[in-house]
Amino acid sequence: MKKILAVAVALLMSATLWAKGDLHLFDVENKNGAITPQTIEAALVANGFGVGVNSEMNKPFTIQFQKTDYKVFTLLTVFHEKLSFELVKKYPQMGIFIPMEIGIYQNKKEDTLHVSVVTSEALERILGVKDPLFKELEKEVLASLKKALPKAKQSNSKEPLKVEGALITQYELEVGEEDAQEMFENVLLGLNNGLSLYGFVIPSKLDVKERLKDSTYDIYQTYSICKLPVIYTVALTNPEAAAFAPCSIAMYKKKGENKIVLAFPSVYNWLSSANVTTKEAKEVLLKAQEQLESVLAEIVE
């Protein structure tokens, strides 16, 4: 077995404030409940998107916490069948947004359904690149949502807060060509065991490499992961943060390279983009960050 190398990557971005917020927000009257996560999903699928998971969270909220404030609280993850994979060919870390997240929620006390999704500018800032393909991807997402929510009011979230940490957390594991597949299987085993230990669940997986033509990757998979206490606690004050849940861990090896990369979008995106300021929400997010870093660090030791 080759020597293992751990690399902590700190893509700490500047604290630039943008003219608009990082999240697209849709608000639509839904007193009769005619608009559902399923109707929104159908509009996305009809417009060239694939679905990772459509997770209704109220049942698990009620089971674990004995209550929920929401009529609707759903985490929908999607990927564009063409554009998402064009982007990951060019930018390896794009896998942390394959699938990308859409939050759908409606409080019990209101007749308005809300949808949140990350802007193309925020995606570019998180990934540290600029490319017209991000705007094209955003255009397709918004067109689908407008079709599903024709009477919705569209806006942007508040300007993001100052970023407090690396926007992407990344670790690298040194491998040789001859044992890359075996090492990758060990990585998956360690990831499953580590996530389970800390109470994370894996609602969906995606073999990205299988969907790429003329791939430059030997291996590329993504795991969507979430932790119920995190989603529940943040939803109490900042439901729009569902645009970051569940997050995806990208795991890949490029052809000709001797390393497996593991990366995920840090919780500092939630804190900044969704303006999370309450003590309880910040604590649960930072604890999750610490636990995920512990899992990945253990894998590459």
Please say if the pLDDT value at position 274 is more than 60: yes
* CA within 13 Å, CB half, 269: 30
Give the residue among 156, 153, 157, 120 at the shortest CA–CA distance from 135. Answer: 120
Binned at pLDDT 50, 70 and 90, residue 1 comes out as very low
What is the maximum alpha-carbon separation in the chain? Answer: 60
pTM of the model: 0.92
Per the domain annotation, does 9 fall within a domain? Answer: no
Looking up residue 249, the CATH number of its domain turns out to be 3.30.310.70
Has residue 13 been placed in a domain? no
Answer yes or no: is 282 within a domain.
Answer: yes
Classify residue 138 by burial, with Cβ atoms within 10 Å: 0-12, 13-18, 19+.
buried
Q: Which residues of 141-154 are buried (b: 16+ CB within 10 A; e: fewer)?
A: bbebbeebbeebee
Mean pLDDT, the chain, whole residue set: 92
The answer to the question of residue 82 being in a domain is yes
pLDDT digits (tens, 9 = 90+) for 37-96: 999 999 999 999 999 999 999 999 999 999 999 999 999 999 999 999 999 999 999 999
- Beta-carbon neighbour count of residue 193 at 10 Å? 12
Number of domains within the chain: 1
pLDDT of 206 strictly over 80: yes
Is there a contact between 197 and 218 (Cβ–Cβ < 8 Å)?
no
Q: Is residue 264 part of a domain?
A: yes
Q: Is residue 120 part of a domain?
A: yes
Regarding predicted confidence, which is higher, 176 or 168?
A: 168
Return all residues near 111 (Cβ < 8 A) that are at least 6 apart: 29, 30, 31
Q: For residue 191, is it within any domain?
A: yes
Residue 10, domain member (yes or no): no
Range of the domain at 65: 20-300
Do the beta carbons of residue 35 and residue 149 sit within 8 Å? yes
